[in-house]
Structure 1
């Protein structure tokens, strides 16, 4: 296998490779033009068929999952955490056409590319896998961590808006929104303005408009949306006072978020410190002293370098995913009790 890798690598590094590939490309383009074959149409047809096939498989998996849930068959706990994590990532980045299955397919492709690149540089499959697999996991962990930050920022913006709206609810939902819209963060203000236009101009029912707004602003807004729908439909006296409970919940939520942020900040600091020490020692061993030649030229030295990279990436991945997994496990336990 190593000889095959070396042969492929020598082929790509050959000075004649680029001119030959350019000649073949020109020949293919000329052939397609001469016979009147539309290359773009063929590529579009192939990609369309691949997309249709993926969507068919995705729909079938979702249907099977729905049928299993109807008869009381629950998913594996760890797969539920993983699915909930991916669903949060997709929602936070606004990837409307993305699903958990498509996300898995995308990362499988990233894994193949990372493995091929690692094999190219290390010329050893074992070492390549030790680098490629944790690298893909690190990319996934970084995306999840970024999603967590986006969700946290959205929740804070929504809570700040609700803290201004709730005391004004005795005047009515529309009036409270209009008086507070200037306080809303620019990231959520367009959604609120769209909801106001739907209710006032288009005549969309409050239930429909608030349900759509809750889907955009997330779980922090859901409780308020449900109370607002009941308040607008029933018009009961004294019902507006119940909205002040939301402000109290927001206060406790902020305290919990601050405590979690302090804890996670300490965990991240410790993690970066460990990774930094390991990487520093590895660099010293590779470029200074008696071990430098051994580490860079022998298989055992390359294996040690690969293990070091593996450990550094693994520490980062475990640290980030544990932070997200703690919150998701709490949500799952809360959902199970309900």
Structure 2
């Protein structure tokens, strides 16, 4: 059983130096989703912390993430075509391999004269949970892993990416905030109690857990009945809920907002059911979770500021219902500190 942490509600350890700048530098060293695996029949555009990227799958099935700009005359590779193990620019047909080197220039009669410096930036890739992930600089830590899912036989279904005018931290906090349910999710969840019970929260380093019982009520969100909800967030950018139904098994929703800019994310997300799950099918689970997400978007997108105010410009007041939020912020601070210390070393 998780234990309630007793910590001052309004204490937040500061980051050293300009906090926003530190957060932006640290996030360049973290893994982020940039495309759904199911969309890679054609090259896909992506933006990560201001970097314009192309994501594609080679003929052999390898996912690739590279700079989107052709170094010849600036063509957009996301409009190009895959050629074997590389991609061709739509403007003049210059081809680049998955290693980033120019492999063919159609207008050149002697291919040995390809400019040696004609290359495009190529980034590390991991394909996981129905998505392609990358990192812009040397990663500060391994790709996210959740021990709680290790023994589960899961079927994943990626949801449609959702454009949200918030920062990563605001998006993660919104995902697992429970006090907003009665006001934002009255349609999907049905009427919810306004008073939030003492929360069962635990934090270890970058990981935060919370256990909460779901009383089904009459919203679509809980058509399968009562269950136990196990929240797990890992700073900076992973938020999950594992729903454990005594009579059906387990299903999951996971969100991983990807920072196009410091205060603007593309929310990549998906659902997963145990293959033995006997409740609603995975398409219905996705429909319900998407309904919840879309209720959040206009409210979260109008928050001021659009990202957590690490530099303390705005006044905020917290209450016990914010316990998970405050622990996530501590974890985020720890992530930034770890990433920048390793970078300096």
TM-score, length-normalised on structure 1? 0.25
Greater relative CO (CA pairs within 8 A, separation 6+)? 2
TM-score, normalised to structure 2, is: 0.24
Bigger Cα Rg: 1
